[in-house]
Structure 1
Amino acid sequence: MNTSQKSNELNKKSNLPIIFFLSLSLITALINSSVPTPLYPYYKEIFKLSATMVSVVYGAYATGVIIALLVIGKLSNLFDDKRILILPSLFIVFIAGILFSRSNSFLDLFIARFLTGIATGGLTGAANISLLKICKKDNGKTAAFIAVLSFTLGLSLGPLISGLSIEYNFYYLKFPFYIISLFSAISFIGIAIYWPKKISEPITINNEKKYSNKILHVNKFIICAISLFLCWMFAACILTFGPTLSKLIGGDKGELYFSFIITAYLLIAGVSQIISKKLESKHSVIFGYTSQLFSFSLLFMGLYFKSPLLSLAGFILAGYAYGALFVGSASLVNHISNEENHARSISLLYLIAYTANWIPILIGFFVDIYAIENVTYISLLSFSLIEILVLFLFKKTQF
């Protein structure tokens, strides 16, 4: 082993602690975003909330993320040392966890959920850029893998932790959030201690480049944005109303059943993103739509026949569809963008996608008036018709 190879090995080993704590910070933020999901029926019952109010609590997260992307995203370019953004974001995660554990009203839940969105939006970009700088040697492949793995683990572990707490009646309105606050504190201390004295510059930095706010190929961008919006919309509806529907299908074991199901759904969605990157982007989107439509049929029948098995099959297909539509749509936007407008295109794409988290508020309004089963049937039929139309338009679009 020559001197250069020895130096690289030493760098890798010396960077392992900071990579671990940055990954833990991402996992913690994403756990905090998904851990309340199985608890919504309990919040609804304890705080006498309507379905609309529960949906508003869920949607507060998206509002926080969008504000963070708009405000903190611009600030990120001003600071080379990303700790300025990462450490305050972790502190907000800590505060949000404590506030969730002590919530006594709709307002407490709304603020905690909103703070979670702010923290997630502020943390994810800065942590990902830091990982990209630290793992520069392989052109960012390691950083990308760590990011996907952290997101998948975080989103998947959240419902599992709260679901098991409910099943064993172990302080389920408090314990999951104590875990989050503990993890955020550990991440905060670890990043503060192990932050490298010198971090490489990002892989592609050119301060002389001119950037444009103009979106190229508007029609193609719109069809990609709609595709991403639809898959996030359905995921938001699952996470908001799934716990209530699971009781209708799974009976007394509904909460635990849903916790395992949603964990599997989110894990499959993460794996699907990795698999779909190897496919041609347009094929990935088409496969995603096809799988999504089949999943709607299975979920419709699962609810109608009260069949956990049919529902499970529907969730598995929906998980694959989410990952395929996500990766395919984002990759196509990358393809139709140039260097000048790429950042603007990607930012706008995700802003549009995050607004999908507000759709459950509209559906929650109808759930308060009509039975949730009837609203679910109508929603699944409506989603199917919309996706068939968008799939037809997508196939007609030349990328």
Structure 2
Amino acid sequence: MNSDSPSLPASTRSLWKARALVTVSLMTGVMGSSVPTPLYPLYQAQLNLPSFTTTAIFFAYVVGVLSALLVGGRLADRVADRRRLLLPALAMVATGAILLALAQNLGMLLAGRLLAGLGTGTLTGAANAALLDLEPPQHKQRAALFGTAAFTLGSILGPILSGVALQAGFHPTVAPFLVIVSIVLAVGHGLWRLPLRRTAAPAPAPHSPQAVHASARALPARRVTQLMLLCCITLSIVWGVGSSLMAMGPSLGEKLLGIHDYALSGYASSLLAACAGTAQFLSQRTSSTSAFRYGNMVFASGLACAIASLLVTQAWLMGVAVLITGLGFGAAFIGAAGIVNQIAPPQRRGLMVSLFYIAGYIGNAWPMLLGFITDHAGPMAAAMTLLLTAIAASAGFVALSRRLLPIRS
């Protein structure tokens, strides 16, 4: 990588190539983190591992992600060329995938997941900051679209990749990771040849459209902090509901709705992710504030539909609820990400984006709380606690957004 690389590519074609490479790099990191999920029972059987090791392996990944987000966010704001973080992060993702493909014991599994977490966490801060660098001030919403789409696609494609290998019986603990390594090598080669250096943009003329746009978003520090907290808590809630559906959906579906086909319950998480991606695409021309507000409204409506499904014990109604919830999930996600992109000062983009996603990963702790409630009060109490809490939170987010942000911000 040349230290004297030119500034960000100026041509439209080069800009779109850069956006594509950065987006795919983030998607690949998320794919690498989600590929092992269907394989844990296979590892457990092949390596004679006790049941608690699944939690330990997941914990190693979370430690890696959170550590990288905490450190990588600050580093992303200190490097002029984002590739100095993106390329090492991709190398960690590839090394983690190789370790998992060769894993013969628990130590290799833990090391592989730790490296995958470190790579994904570093990519999250650096890639989202790079996407922001590649967009003009009036198109920051587009950076949010690419960032959230990368997460959604990675979450969908990872389990599909390992699931296909499992169903085909084609080296399921090796082949999916080799695919990840291959994509990493291709993306890394493209990034190596493409400069991603930040430059200090010249100050716009006082009455230019860029100046008017920038001044409209010049918010007091206290308001920035309030909006950042609002977006972080929102992401924690929506990710918490999503992770709870993936972790506990099959068991709760069996106990509360009589759905004995675990595959059918598993498809619910894929439906949620697919609807979220659809909503993100449809929201690309909507203001971040509107997407955030309407996303939370739709999200709460879907959860209310889920409550109705549980009360009348109708599985088909739960399918409708998942569809509506997924659409709200995607719109609220891209709206919150867009708000963070717009309020983040250039010198703190990496840090604020990293903190935003840290809040999301913290939301992944919801299934543990639900498991505790299920053991002590039953599955219905756990489901109602999750749904009613999320509905109340979403209503509060809408009310706060009306006070903190005008509709056209």
Indicate whether the TM-score tops 0.5.
yes
How far the C-alpha of 1:69 sits from its partner, in A, is: 1.8
Seen in structure 2, the aligned counterparts of structure 1 residues 215 and 32 have a Cα distance that, compared at 3 Å, is farther
Alignment of 1:336-347 (within 5 A): 347=354
Deviation of 1:294 (Å): 2.1
* In structure 2, C-alpha distance between the alignment counterparts of 1:338 and 1:11, rounded to whole Å: 26
* 1:276 positional shift: 4.6
Q: What aligned pairs does 1:208-219 form with structure 2 within 5 A after superposition?
A: 215-216=222-223
Q: CA deviation digits over 1:1-40, x for unaligned, max 9? A: xxxxxxxx99334556544433332221121122223233
Q: Secondary structure at the match of 1:186?
A: helix
CA gap of 1:167–1:87, structure 2 versus 1, over 3 A, is same
Distance 1:329 1:21, change over 3 A: closer
Question: Paired residue for 1:4?
Answer: none
Letter in 1 for 2:194: W
Deviation at 1:98, TM superposition (A): 1.2
Label 1:391 to 1:263 Cα distance change in 2 as closer, same or farther (>3 A).
closer
Question: Could you say which residue in structure 2 is the equivalent of 1:201?
Answer: 199
Confirm or deny: 8 A CA contact 2:25 2:90 kept in the other structure: yes
2:384 aligned with 1:381, yes or no? yes
Q: What is the match of residue 270 of structure 1?
A: 277
| C-alpha separation in 1, matches of 2:178 and 2:49 | 24
Q: Does the aligned pair in 1 maintain the 2:297–2:328 contact within 8 Å?
A: no
Determine the C-alpha separation between the residues in 1 that align with 2:248 and 2:396.
Answer: 30
Structure-2 residue corresponding to 1:22: 22
Deviation of the 1:92 alpha carbon: 0.4
One-letter amino acid of the structure 1 residue matched with residue 388 of structure 2: L
* Residue matched to 2:327: 320
Does structure 2 conserve the Cα–Cα contact (< 8 Å) formed by 1:36 and 1:162?
Answer: yes
The equivalent of 1:101 in structure 2 is 101
Q: Which deviates more, 260-269 or 27-36?
A: 260-269
Which runs of no fewer than 5 residues in structure 1 stay unpaired?
1-8
Q: How many residues align?
A: 373
Q: Alpha-carbon deviation of 1:88?
A: 0.7
Aligned partner of residue 241 in structure 2, secondary structure: helix
**Alpha carbon RMSD of aligned pairs, Å?**
4.1
Q: Which residue of 1 aligns with 2:147?
A: 147
Tell me, yes or no, if structure 1 residue 226 matches structure 2 residue 229: no
Distance in structure 1 (CA, Å) of the matches to 2:67 and 2:240 = 19
Deviation string, structure 1 residues 119-171 (Cα, Å, up to 9, x no partner)? 11212332333344455598456655443443332222112111222222222
Distance in 2, matches of 1:301 and 1:40, equals 33
Equivalent position amino acid for 1:80 in 2:
A
Q: Secondary structure of 1:295's partner?
A: helix
Q: Is the 8 A contact 2:238 2:329 kept in 1?
A: yes
Whole-angstrom distance in 1 between the partners of 2:72 and 2:270:
30
Cα displacement (A) at 1:310: 5.0
Unmatched segments (≥5 aa) in structure 2: 1-8, 205-217, 405-409
Q: What amino acid sits opposite 2:94 in the alignment? A: F
Distance 2:98 2:90 in 1: 13
Match of 1:357 in 2: 364
CA distance 1:170–1:356, shift in 2 (3 Å): same
The residue type equivalent to 2:151 in the other structure is: F
The equivalent residue for 2:215 is: none
**In the alignment, is the contact (CA less than 8 A) between 2:69 and 2:122 conserved in 1?**
yes
**Which residue in 1 is equivalent to 2:292?**
281
Deviation, 1:189, is 2.2
Identical pairs, percent: 26
Counterparts in 2 of 1:264 and 1:213: CA distance versus 1, 3 Å: same
- Residue 68 of structure 2 is matched in structure 1 by 68
Question: Hey, what does 1:239 align to over in structure 2?
Answer: 246
Task: State the SS of the aligned residue for 1:201.
Answer: coil
CA contact (8 A) 2:295 2:327 kept: no
Moved more, 140-149 or 98-107: 140-149
Correspondence for 2:87? 87
TM-score by length of 1: 0.75
The within-5 A match list for 1:44-59 is 44-46=44-46, 47-50=48-51, 53-59=53-59
